[in-house]
Amino acid sequence: MSHRTKDEVTDVAARNLYNRYADAKGLSQAKYEDVYGLISRVGFATVKARRVIDAAAIIMDRYSGKVPDTVEELTVIPGVGRKTANVVLADALGKPAIAVDTHVHRISNRIGWSNTKNPDETEQELIKIIPVEYWLGFNPVLVEFGKKICKPIGPRCGECSINAYCSYYRETSKNPDKGTTKKAKKNSGK
């Protein structure tokens, strides 16, 4: 539900669903209007209300009410891409996985850990170089870092504690104009 939605709004909507429906069975039998009413403030709520009911129904029908624990099975569920699947694996099931959202994608490309066009490609590069014991906490750390320091526009490189290791910083400090070039805009993750 977080797509195109502020974290605070997503949190309230998720809490509303958890409070109303105890499990996948309850949600799979929910009325569309009721679910829509609980999540109406998230972006594209009309589509997402239908999707969460359908997702719950798939989990009931195919997996006997137990959330599957592989990316392959999770991404069969409509609306679930690799990022969401990896969030479920890492945050809900405690399995090592790197969820790559726009923050992780942008920061990885700026630093030089990857040189990729989309988050799925970035994930493939990161799993080659990040030791598996760091996968679980990787997304939350980079998301916070991306909100506070390595912002999409106007990264705070001067106060960044890892700027000595960052390709973007090396390039832009040699040539300050590069911070506004096409490449810099590409690296904003937008």
* Residues noted as catalytic: 83, 101
Among 31, 66, 117, 156, binds ligand SF4 (CB under 6 A): 156
Is position 109 an interface residue for ligand SF4 (rule: CB under 6 A)?
no
CA distance 104 to 102: 6
Binding mask 135-154 for ligand SF4 (x = CB under 6 A): --------------xx----
CA distance 3 to 48: 10
Among 113, 135, 138, 168, binds ligand SF4 (CB under 6 A): 168
Decide whether 30 or 126 has the Cβ nearer to ligand SF4: 126
CB of 145 to ligand SF4, least distance (A): 8
Number of residues that bind ligand SF4 (CB under 6 A): 14
From the list 140, 73, 62, the residue with the least C-alpha distance to 103 is 140
CB of 16 to ligand SF4, least distance (A): 35
Sign of CA pseudo-dihedral 111, 116, 118, 121: negative
Among 160, 171, 184, 188, binds ligand SF4 (CB under 6 A): 160
**DSSP code string of 63-113:** HTT----SHHHHTTSTT--HHHHHHIIIIIT--------HHHHHHHHHHTS
CB of 85 to ligand SF4, least distance (A): 26
From the list 97, 101, 95, 59, the residue with the least C-alpha distance to 77 is 59
Q: Please report, to the nearest 10 degrees, the dihedral formed by the alpha carbons of residues 180, 188, 138, 10 taken in order.
A: 140
CB of 104 to ligand SF4, least distance (A): 12
Measure CA of the first residue to CA of the last residue in the chain; give whole Å.
20
CA distance 104 to 121: 12
Q: Which stretch binds ligand SF4 (CB under 6 A): 25-33, 63-71, 74-82, 165-173?
A: 165-173
CB of 181 to ligand SF4, least distance (A): 14
> Applying CB under 6 A, which residues contact ligand SF4?
107, 110-111, 149-150, 155-157, 160, 162-163, 166, 168-169
